[in-house]
Amino acid sequence: MARRIRLGRCRARTHRARPPPRSAHPPGPGRRRCLRDARRPVGSSARRGGRGARSRLGVGHSAASTLAWLAADARPEKVAKVALVGGFPTADGKAYADYFAIEGGVMPFPGWEPFEGPDAADLDQQARDRFASAAVPVPEAVARGVVRLTDERRFDIPVVVVCPEFTPAQAEKWIATGESPELARAAHVEYVDLDSGHWPMATRPRELARVLAEAAHR
C-alpha cells in the first residue's frame, strides 16, 4: 500500500520537494511509463539550470526506497545523493514489493499485525485509524513487478540511510551480511539515527525534515 506524505516541512526549510506522480510506481506492465514519471522530478529540476541542477537529493521511504534508487539509476549524472528512510533498495531482477497478500488484483493495507513492535510503537489508535483510512492499495503488477537496474554509476552516488525503527548498527550489519546487495556495493554510505517508528513523517516530521535538509547540504 502507498501512503500520502505531506511535504510542507521540507518546503518550510527552503527546499522544493517534487514528488513523482502516482503513476510512478515501479515495474510491471507499463514499466517505461513508471520509470519516466519517477525520474521526471530529477529531470525537470536539472533543466532549470544553475547550481541547483547538480544538487538533487532523491528521497524514498520504505519500499519506495527502490523508487528513489530507480530514479538514481536512470539519471546518475543528475542525482547528487539518495536518502533512504526506513528502507533499502530492491536488487536488480527481484520483485519490487511482494510483501503482503494480493486481493482482487491489488495489495491492500494488511492491518496492523505485521507492524506490531518498533514499526508502529509510536502510533496511537487515532493515528493508526487515520493512517489505515488513507492507505492506497498497490496494484499487483507493481508489487510483483521485476526491478531492472542498468547503470553501475548509481553505486558512486552517496547514500544516506535514515534509521527510524532500527538502529544504524543494525542497518550496517544487514548491509554487511548481504541483506541489501545494492547498498553493499555503494561507495559512500552514511547512517542517521532518527529513533522513531516506521513512519517518522507522521510522528516526527520536524526531525525528519531536519535530517533531510542536512543531508541535502552535506
List of domains in the chain:
8-217 (3.40.50.1820)
| Lateral strand order in the sheet of 56-61 | 56-61, 79-85, 159-163, 189-193
Has this prediction a pTM greater than 0.75? Answer: yes
| Cα dihedral 2/193/41/37 (nearest 10) | -30
| Residue 175 grid coordinates | 548491509
Residue pLDDT tens, the chain, 218 long: 444 444 444 444 445 555 555 544 444 444 445 545 555 554 444 343 444 444 689 999 999 999 999 999 999 999 999 999 999 999 999 999 999 999 999 999 999 999 999 999 999 999 999 999 999 999 999 999 999 999 999 999 999 999 999 999 999 999 999 999 999 999 999 999 999 999 999 999 999 999 999 999 87
d(CA 155, CA 195): 27
